Structure 1
Amino acid sequence: MMSCKRIRLVVKDSADESSYVPVLEAAGYVLQIREPDWFEYRLFKGPDTDINLHVFSLGTSEIDRMLRFRDWLRTNDTDRDKYAQVKRNLAKNKWRHVQHYANAKTSIVQEIIKMISY
């Protein structure tokens, strides 16, 4: 599994797909995942295969959590290396769905989040 670029897009209401999906599709993005029960989250792939575009509604708490996690990894070598090693090990597996890979790394993410939530 290759490393993907992650982009977060915050829109007024991610459930209102007509307000942003046509523009993303015109730019070459393809809607892959729709999770109405989890913050009305949407995931798009492409136009390059190594881009994951994560779409959330304005004010969603998950946005802040993701940014705190990213910022922590940028400043904490130990946790960044631990997270990278887990991802490298998981990437050796063949995953039927990318969500299975994401689920498999949940425990390391939760462990690190506990450190920064003190």
Structure 2
Amino acid sequence: MTEYSQEVVQRFHGTPEQVAAGRIEEPPARWQSNVIEDYDPAWPDRFAVAASSMKAALGDLIIDIEHVGSTSVPGLAAKPIIDIDLLLDDTTDESRYVPVLEGIGYRLLLREPWWHGHRMLVHPVGDANLHVWPQAAPEPTRHRLFRDWLRAHPQDRDLYAATKRRLARDTADRAGDYSLAKNDVIDQILARIFATTEERRRPGPD
């Protein structure tokens, strides 16, 4: 049974000020509202197309590429924006990957070295968020754990969906607060994930 490091277990919360400081360009217009839609079976296909173009462009630079976020969970309501985790050996030297990704239509939006070296690029029409991480970053591990848990636990999937719909309504006049407002429910679900992992690791009675 996998034992996760404290970096993985203890989730880091950025502040609105940190996010604003890392912004390089204005966000897409779609970020001005948070529209939660019913699950669309076409979302995995959209990820597959995007991943294929990245693999063709970056080749061996890619360590891993994953479909994460709500659109990666069958049956989960979500904003219709594909979240992609792209792992490279390092993100510090942007000249190795940013121009290539710009060549296939993405633009660099966020530079967040304080958040495990995270860079975020977006598709011009705003329908894909590309998160670029160094290989050792803990956040992609949490993303995969969260995704796989929601795929296997419909009760938490439905809790998350209901919470997102409520928060989208509650933050309708301040859409930028939506992502941070989800932290409480995300942390609750992650706590269950890690508690279950710890329980399974404990040796049974002789």
TM over 0.5: yes
Going by fraction, where is strand more abundant, 1 or 2? 1
* Structure 2 counterpart of 1:22: 99
Counterparts in 2 of 1:113 and 1:89: CA distance versus 1, 3 Å:
same
CA distance in 1, matches of 2:139, 2:92: 16
Q: Report the more deviating stretch, 41-50 or 27-36.
A: 41-50
Pairing partner for 1:95 from 145, 154, 174:
174
Contact 1:27 1:47 in 2 (8 A): no
Q: Report the more deviating stretch, 41-50 or 17-26.
A: 41-50
Secondary structure of the 1:31 match is strand
The answer to whether 1:61 aligns with 2:135 is no
CA distance in 2, matches of 1:40, 1:108: 25
The answer to whether 1:7 aligns with 2:84 is yes
Q: Report the more deviating stretch, 38-47 or 70-79.
A: 38-47
CA distance in 2, matches of 1:75, 1:86: 18
Displacement of 1:84 in angstroms is 1.0
Counterparts in 2 of 1:29 and 1:40: CA distance versus 1, 3 Å:
same
Larger Rg: 2
The answer to whether 1:34 aligns with 2:111 is yes
Per the normalisation by structure 2, the TM-score is 0.53
Secondary structure of the 1:80 match is helix
CA distance in 2, matches of 1:67, 1:89: 24
Q: Which amino acid aligns with 2:174?
A: W
Q: Which runs of 5+ in 2 are unaligned?
A: 1-33, 36-78, 196-206
* Structure 1 counterpart of 2:56: none
Q: Which runs of 5+ in 1 are unaligned?
A: none
CA distance in 2, matches of 1:64, 1:96: 27
Contact 1:42 1:54 in 2 (8 A): yes
Per the normalisation by structure 1, the TM-score is 0.90
Secondary structure of the 1:38 match is coil
Q: Which amino acid aligns with 2:105?
A: G
Identity %: 41
Displacement of 1:96 in angstroms is 5.2
